[in-house]
Amino acid sequence: MMSDSAEALRDEVRRRYAEAATAAGEGRSCGCASDWSTDVVDENDWGEALYSAEERGELPNTAVLASLGCGNPTAVADLNSGEVVLDLGSGGGIDVILSAKRVGPTGVAYGLDMTDEMLALARKNAAEAGVANVHFLKGVMEEIPLPAESVDVVISNCVINLSTDKPVVLTEMARVLKPGGRIGISDVVAEDRLTPAERAERGSYVGCIAGALSAGEYVSGLEAAGFGEVTVTYTHEVADGIHAAIVKARKTDEPTRAGLVVAAPAARASCC
């Protein structure tokens, strides 16, 4: 059973993203980055700016405005025709719509979100984009409403840091992935030197900072859940010792050595 404090945090996150959905519907944008230090974060380091002009051109404007993440997971997940993709915390649907286009009519893109307002916005955006191979599900990351071994790829964009039970989320990802399935996630990640208290000093939980895993915690958590080939690649800093990052791994019975990669600026441009 979820503790009162965890339930309160989840309710705060739900309220924040309901407000974001309403803002997008009204032609405004808001999200995690509104809590990030303007001394560190450039406007080109978050949200819609992380998608190419070609990608944005494929999408309804409200889907672009509802892009609240710290990366572009569809750019690093290497999606293939016919695959089944699951986006955790799908928000306004930007990554689900792009994924649906990548996997084509023989593939499927699922979006999971707990916020009614975001789900309504996502369904509207998908219909406007003319993609039929999408399904938006209401639920939480800790209890993914899909069968075991039903998904080829799990993606997520700056959402796992918002979970109050991240080990369960990582285990759920492994459960729904087919053998050999993979993850391509954008998230906010702390340097290992920062304690949980120090992370909280740098930003709020709903601002995607206080709840961030460290790189080492991400690696060990994924390995414990049954993943190998784990890499955490920093892309840009959002606060002192806190980075947007790409997390990749593959479901395997025999995890291989994991790694932490700090991306050079040139690599960042090609990743996000």
CB contact at 8 A, 182 and 228: no
Look at residues 172, 153, 161 and name the one whose alpha carbon lies nearest to residue 79.
153
Q: How much is the pLDDT for 260?
A: 53
Determine the residue type at 38: T
Could you tell me which residue, 202 or 6, shows the higher pLDDT?
A: 202
Determine the residue type at 54: E
> Which of the residue ranges 162-166, 217-221, 268-272 has the most confident prediction, judged by mean pLDDT?
217-221
Write out the residue range of the structural domain in which residue 146 sits. 4-271
Mean residue pLDDT across the chain? 79
Q: Distances in Å between the alpha carbon of 60 and those of 36, 63, 107, 113?
A: 26, 5, 21, 19
Look at residues 26, 27, 13, 189 and name the one whose alpha carbon lies nearest to residue 89.
13
| 72-80 mean pLDDT | 78
Q: State the Cα–Cα distance between residues 120 and 138, nearest whole angstrom.
A: 10
* pLDDT of 22 over the 70 cut: no
Per-residue model confidence as pLDDT tens digits over 31-42: 554 454 444 444
Per-residue model confidence as pLDDT tens digits over 203-257: 776 677 878 999 999 999 999 999 999 999 998 888 899 998 999 999 986 544 4
Q: Distances in Å between the alpha carbon of 76 and those of 13, 121, 163, 182?
A: 26, 25, 22, 11
Q: How much is the pLDDT for 224?
A: 95
Number of structural domains, the chain?
A: 1
Determine the straight-line distance between the first and last CA of the chain, rounded to whole angstroms: 37
CA atoms within 13 A on the CB side of 124: 18
∠ CA 204-62-41, nearest 5°, is 35
CA atoms within 13 A on the CB side of 85: 35
**Taking the CB of residue 164, how many other CB atoms lie within 10 A of it?**
19
Q: State the Cα–Cα distance between residues 2 and 22, nearest whole angstrom.
A: 28
Spatial neighbors of 65 by CB under 8 A, at least 6 apart, are 23, 24, 27, 28, 29, 48, 92
Query: What CATH number should be reported for the domain holding residue 154?
Result: 3.40.50.150
User: Under DSSP, is residue 221 helix (H, G, I), strand (E, B) or coil?
Assistant: helix
Spatial neighbors of 215 by CB under 8 A, at least 6 apart, are 189, 190, 191, 192, 232, 245, 260
